[in-house]
Amino acid sequence: MPSIDVANTTSPGVIAFRTFLDEVLGEATTVKPPSDDRSLSINPPLQKDDLHNFSERLSEVLSDYTAAEQQADDADKTAAKARKHNVVEVAARAKFAALTASTPISSPEAVNIWNLLDIIFFTADIGHGDPALMFLLVEDLLSSQTISGCRIIFDFLESRRERCVSKFYKQSHLIVLRSCNELLRRLSRAEDTAFCGRVFVFLFQYFPLGDKSSVNLRGQYHVENVTTYEKPLEGGDTMEVDKEENLDKAAEAPQTEKPGGKKADAGTPKTSSPPLSNDELYDLFWPLQESFSQPLRLFEPANLKPFQRGVEETVKKFVALPSATSRSSTVDEPKSSLKRKREGLEDGEGAEAYNPRYLTSRDLFELEIGDLTFRRHILVQMLILLNFILSWTKEPKAKYDKMIQPWIEAAKERTVVDGPKVNHSLLYTKEFSEEDARWARETKDKIAEYMRKDVPGKAFYRVIETVLARDKNWVYWKMASCPPIKRDPIDPKVWAEAQASALRVTTSKRLRPVPMNAVPMEFLKPKAPGQALKELEDPKRYRLPDLDSFKAKINDSDFDIQMAKTPAEKARAQERKASQSWRAMRIARGFKLAAFDKIDNPDDISAIFEPLEDAVAEVAADEIAADEDMPTNREAVIVSGPPGAGKSVIIQKLMEARKGVFERVVRHTTREPKDGETDGKDFHFVKAPEFNQLRDGDRLIENVDQGDIAYGTSYKAVEAVTESGKVPIIEMDIDSAKFAKDMDFDARYILVKPASPESHETFLKAAGGRDDAAIKAVIDGLPALVEGLNADNIAGKVILNENVENASQELGDYLYHKDADADTEIVNRTDTGEAPVSEQNNGGMDVDAPEAS
């Protein structure tokens, strides 16, 4: 900071620059006058061109300093430049201080503050001022204002973000980070949730993905986040539940009511015992927060046991509470009180935000856990910790080592100094036992089951699952000390070749036999009578252009429409687009007519270029069965079953027997195509990011990971078949079918089972690709695998595969009769006393009786 007395300076440079500032600020006020509408005073940003000859006039004012800088020898240049920057800074700070002292930030006159900051930015932009100055002034301003004032300043910062990032990222990023962090420290996460979010989003946008400045590289936990709660009613400083000897004692001794009946027993959880009372749970519930804010303490068994007990009892209690839909009025109370609290907030602030406040008073405990949102919040915390436990057991640790090895190698190959290095502060040496991992897995399942119950529980749990999965990637990235996230440059050789061939193509001087774009006129030459006419009819002569070629043309026209400078130019581009769209639609009507239904807006015909329509087209190209041959119920059919049960052959037989009725839905996979497999026919082969996009966008009805390979079925692929008029039939393993059912995907679920373990073994041998041990593993695992499907009553029909013909016949019969009134029909058949086919054929396998059929 320059040590000049700002108010009484006699430095001619400072005086001159300050006068200049007053002048240009006056001009700026004519361009952007004070306005009652605050958004107008901040936006649009002042432009340099709005100020008459700004650069020249500024250079003139600072000419002496610039001359001194130019004349100085290399050693003194920096000092000369600093002198000029000091002059600018002193004058600018003085003006800024005067303005901020006299102008409330929310008044219309605050436009002068924003204009001054813009002018300081321009000054730095043409090299006459310190680029950091504007950011330092904003930082000062933020620290001098109340939170509502900071919101206005933040509007300013957000509107100038791109400009600042593109010009002065290097000089500003640390100041911006510091200011934002300071602001976040002042904000209450509960009251100013939305504002906190804005600050975080701003930081993410300001800093490039992969920038380490705001990464918690050492994995430090927010240990100051201490939740205070009431001590156990009995008194005493230490929570009895935390003492290990008590855990062991309690495990042995029967649970006795302590004096007052208020103290929780921290022994081994009894899964069958009833949920604890609120008072008892209170003493186990709030101490969990300690582990939530410091997960590393769980490596100590003395901390882990009470944690496990607390989690189990809490989950048990939550499960026992009435669900959101059936709760009594008491549970609404916290919400209404919260509402009252939020009424004081500004418009739009916090309306959608909910951040649970920890009301840790014992008296409020019942109300607190009665709130579904609060319960979910706690359960998410638990899931994070359970994931933490699962990440630090033997197996995942070995996986990290394997994963990190290539980074270490890469570091050696590239540069020793800058390459990715393993971040040892995140690689803990301690690990959890297999027993702890099992506990974590089981508890996770319980929590998942509970969370999925309430509406919209399934979707909510899915989001949480996705977020936690994504979080793992960040942890991996931090473990490698945040290697740069960038694409490798193109190999110079490849680049040179591409350039050379582009040159060759574009500079060919050879005369073409037919000028470009001209139609060959050869047929006009005298020929045998009638031959010229025949040649004219040759389909090659009137071959339609490729539909996709219009896509780029229409995009170009769209661009021209947007960028048109005059109305005439715009009209021409619109006319061009209309003609291109018309021609594209004429071509598409021949084979993508179904896509026309998807066009809502005539200006956007992109639906006809979408791959879905390709699938429809392909399907449509096949023969479709006559209406009377179609089943009444055309809902999708999911055929699932254990590996080698005969799903494929049964479906194949059915499709041959009922031609043009069913169509297989093609699944997506991230694996590479095997020999003979065709993209779009056997699978849609996609890369992992594309698959993740489908999965994260909820565009899959099911997906499973088998090792590193992901499989999934998209809604679009199913729709494509439905739109073609056929019945989609999807072959899946049992887990995928359960997943689809969980996602409430409407379909008829069929389970195919081999009639006996012996025949299953034969099928698996016939299918090949498995050795004896693998075959045995499949057969042994079958009862457990099938159990879920039967128990949850997912499969509406179980088919025993003894004979492919019969099984496919049975499937066909079922699909043709399982329509609106099929149930009655089926019941009638059973009423005749005839045993269902599957029962007759169960061949000794322990099969739950399928729905009567």
Ligand X SMILES: Nc1ncnc2c1ncn2[C@@H]1O[C@H](COP(=O)(O)OP(=O)(O)OP(=O)(O)O)[C@@H](O)[C@H]1O
Kindly list the residues in this chain that would bind ligand X in the complex (CB under 6 A): 641, 643-649, 763, 766-767, 801, 803-804
- Is 120 within 8 Å of 129 (Cβ atoms)? yes
Rounded CA separation 391/475 (Å): 11
468: Cβ–Cβ under 8 A, 6 or more apart, which residues? 383, 384, 387
Q: Which is nearer to ligand X, 620 or 795 (CB)?
A: 795
Q: Which is nearer to ligand X, 419 or 712 (CB)?
A: 712
Q: Which is nearer to ligand X, 267 or 646 (CB)?
A: 646
Helix, coil or strand: residue 679: strand
Q: Which is nearer to ligand X, 217 or 767 (CB)?
A: 767
**Distance of closest approach, residue 706 Cβ to ligand X, in angstroms:** 12
Q: Which is nearer to ligand X, 605 or 732 (CB)?
A: 732
**Distance of closest approach, residue 312 Cβ to ligand X, in angstroms:** 38
**Distance of closest approach, residue 751 Cβ to ligand X, in angstroms:** 11
**Distance of closest approach, residue 744 Cβ to ligand X, in angstroms:** 24
**Distance of closest approach, residue 492 Cβ to ligand X, in angstroms:** 46
Rg (the chain; Cα; Å) = 36
Dihedral angle sign, alpha carbons of residues 256, 258, 264, 266: negative
Q: Which is nearer to ligand X, 462 or 748 (CB)?
A: 748
Q: Amino acid identity of 409?
A: E
Q: Which is nearer to ligand X, 641 or 812 (CB)?
A: 641
- Is 825 within 8 Å of 785 (Cβ atoms)? no
**Distance of closest approach, residue 712 Cβ to ligand X, in angstroms:** 16
Which alpha helices (DSSP H) does 54-186 contain, by range? 54-61, 63-71, 74-102, 111-125, 133-144, 147-159, 161-186
Q: Which is nearer to ligand X, 796 or 843 (CB)?
A: 843
User: 751 has which bridge partners?
Assistant: 640, 798
Please tell me what DSSP assigns to residue 208: P
Residue the block writes with tokens 């193509």: 505
User: 679 has which bridge partners?
Assistant: 683
Closest-CA residue to 13 (of 71, 54, 56, 58): 58
CB closest to ligand X, residue no: 646
Which alpha helices (DSSP H) does 321-358 contain, by range? 332-342
**Distance of closest approach, residue 222 Cβ to ligand X, in angstroms:** 48
Calculate the alpha carbon distances from 152 to 111, 121, 140, 141 in Å.
Answer: 11, 19, 14, 11
**Distance of closest approach, residue 631 Cβ to ligand X, in angstroms:** 22
Q: Which is nearer to ligand X, 223 or 766 (CB)?
A: 766
* Per-residue tokens: 332: 């609404």
Counting DSSP H helices and E strands in the chain, the numbers are 34, 9
Q: Which is nearer to ligand X, 334 or 643 (CB)?
A: 643
Q: Amino acid identity of 593?
A: L
Q: Which is nearer to ligand X, 581 or 801 (CB)?
A: 801
**Distance of closest approach, residue 168 Cβ to ligand X, in angstroms:** 60
**Distance of closest approach, residue 802 Cβ to ligand X, in angstroms:** 6
* Residue 513: alpha-carbon gap to chain centroid: 55
Rounded CA separation 6/15 (Å): 10
Q: Amino acid identity of 202?
A: F
Residue the block writes with tokens 């006020």: 29
- Is 718 within 8 Å of 678 (Cβ atoms)? no
Backbone angles phi, psi at 224, to 5 degrees: -75, -10
Rounded CA separation 830/853 (Å): 7
**Distance of closest approach, residue 672 Cβ to ligand X, in angstroms:** 18
